[in-house]
Amino acid sequence: MCHDRATRRRTVRSRLILPVLEVRHITTYRYRQPVALGEHRMMFRPREGHDQRVLNANLIINPAPIRQRWMLDVFGNHVGYASFGARTTELCFDSSVTLQHNPSHAEDGTLPDLTLEDYALTYPFTYGGDEMPDLMRLIERHNRDPHHEVDRWARRFLSPNGPTSTSALLRGINQAIWQGFTYVAREEKGLQEPTTTLKLGSGSCRDFALLMMEAVRALGLAARFVSGYLHVPARGNRSNIGGGATHAWLQVFLPGAGWVEFDPTNGIVGNRDLIRVAVVREPAQAVPLSGTWVGAPSDHLAMNVAVTVTRTDLPPSDPSPQPR
């Protein structure tokens, strides 16, 4: 009987649909007359791990570079470099990636599938001595807050009557931005200072990620910036904001659970609908595409970015008996 139940459990698992997402990211630059191109730096390929695995990746660059190379940066992100020869009036990067994505569902905003260390269940807590040397720069504040506005805002989420649930604290900050701030798709380069985002009550996904990063860092927690892609379901009760371009969110390090995703733009906790490409200490280290060109300023006509993320699940796997 026990053997039959075990076999049935294995068979049910093997029949589960494998969630697969396809990402198409096209960036096109157009110039008035042929310009010379300098080296371009690319961050298109998602990071692999237990919750996402790249099945196929293809990058077409037109005009074709005379030299192309890839490396892992200091954070373990995939970074590509392309060098060009001839002049051109158009430069196009067309990246296609297919990956298996295993989401940790958190429809109600609670921390999904986490087992925190007992000492980290409530805030405040202190990271272990073996973790602190590696987390110190991710705890440091990176943006100006001369009047402690972000500090005061972050402390609003602490319980006035003793220790605060770590889960409730982070969920509260994440939901406060999601529900209380207005999303604005800004095309300008760079980010708003967190104090400006607080003052305006609005910003882009990268502005919201930076605000929450600085808020949790103000509380002594380690946080890092994440750049990647967002899946917007075609139907259902979810309506994510930020599709059609690259997306940004953050991770917070929690003892026992590790790095946990928070997307304050959409109120997401966990990796549901989020595809990680770059994980860095500060946003400037995660620019998806950058490079130089030589010509008159008026030669630059336009830059167009189009990102689509679609779900095309794999069929159920063969439910053949598995070895005991």
Q: Is the pTM for the entire model greater than 0.75? A: yes
Q: Confidence class of residue 112 from pLDDT cuts 50, 70 and 90?
A: low
Q: Per CATH, the architecture of 2-100+286-311 is what? A: Sandwich (2.60)
Over the stretch 164-212, which tens digit does the pLDDT of each residue have?
999 999 999 999 999 999 999 877 777 899 999 999 999 999 999 999 9
Q: Which CATH class is domain 105-272?
A: alpha beta
- What Å distances lie between residue 172 and 45, 159, 264, CA to CA? 32, 11, 10
Contact (Cβ atoms closer than 8 angstroms) between residue 225 and residue 210: yes
End-to-end CA distance of the chain: 15
> Is 225 in contact with 250 (CB distance < 8 Å)?
yes
- Return the C-alpha torsion angle 84, 86, 91, 97, nearest 10: -40
Is the per-residue pLDDT at 301 higher than 70? Answer: yes
Average pLDDT over residues 134-159: 97
Per CATH, 2-100+286-311 and 105-272 having the same topology is answered no
Could you read off the pLDDT of 60-91 as tens digits, one per residue? 999 999 999 999 999 999 999 999 999 999 99
Domain ranges of the chain: 2-100+286-311, 105-272
Give 121-135 pLDDT, tens digit per residue: 999 999 999 999 999
